[in-house]
Amino acid sequence: MTITNGQNADAGDFITASAGAGSAGKVAKLDAAGKHDASFKKIFGCKVYQNSSSSTGSGSYSIQNFQLEEFDTDSMHENVSHPDRITFNTAGYYLVGATIGLGTSVTGGLRIVLNSSTTIGGGSTTNNGGAVTTHATGSLVRHFAANDYITVGCSTNGASSSSGDERTNFWAILLQAD
Do both 91 and 57 map to the same domain?
yes
Q: Rounded distance, CA 130 to CA 134, Å?
A: 9
CATH code of the domain containing 95: 2.60.120.40
Q: Is the pLDDT of residue 19 over 90?
A: no
Domain that holds residue 28: 1-40
CB-based contacts of 132, cutoff 8 Å, min separation 6: 104
pLDDT, tens digit, 9 for 90 and up, residues 65-121: 999 999 998 999 998 999 999 999 999 999 999 999 887 777 888 999 999 999 999
pLDDT, tens digit, 9 for 90 and up, residues 166-178: 889 999 999 988 8
**What is the number of domains present in the chain?**
2
Do both 97 and 156 map to the same domain?
yes
Could you tell me the maximum CA-CA distance found in the chain, to the nearest angstrom? 63
Do both 51 and 35 map to the same domain?
no
146 vs 13, higher pLDDT: 146
Specify the pLDDT at position 85: 97
CB-based contacts of 88, cutoff 8 Å, min separation 6: 76, 94, 144, 145, 146, 147, 148, 149, 172
Do both 57 and 26 map to the same domain?
no
Do both 90 and 27 map to the same domain?
no
Do both 67 and 118 map to the same domain?
yes
Do both 140 and 62 map to the same domain?
yes
Do both 115 and 70 map to the same domain?
yes
Specify the pLDDT at position 118: 96
Residue type at position 147: N
Residues forming beta bridges with residue 39, ordered by sequence position: none
Mean of all residue pLDDT scores within the chain: 81
- Supply the DSSP string of 21-64, one letter for each residue: TTSPPEEEEB-TTSSB-TT--S--EEEEE-SS--B--BSSPEEP
Do both 1 and 63 map to the same domain?
no
pTM over 0.85: no
14: closest CA among 22, 4, 6?
4
Residues forming beta bridges with residue 68, ordered by sequence position: 49
Do both 130 and 172 map to the same domain?
yes
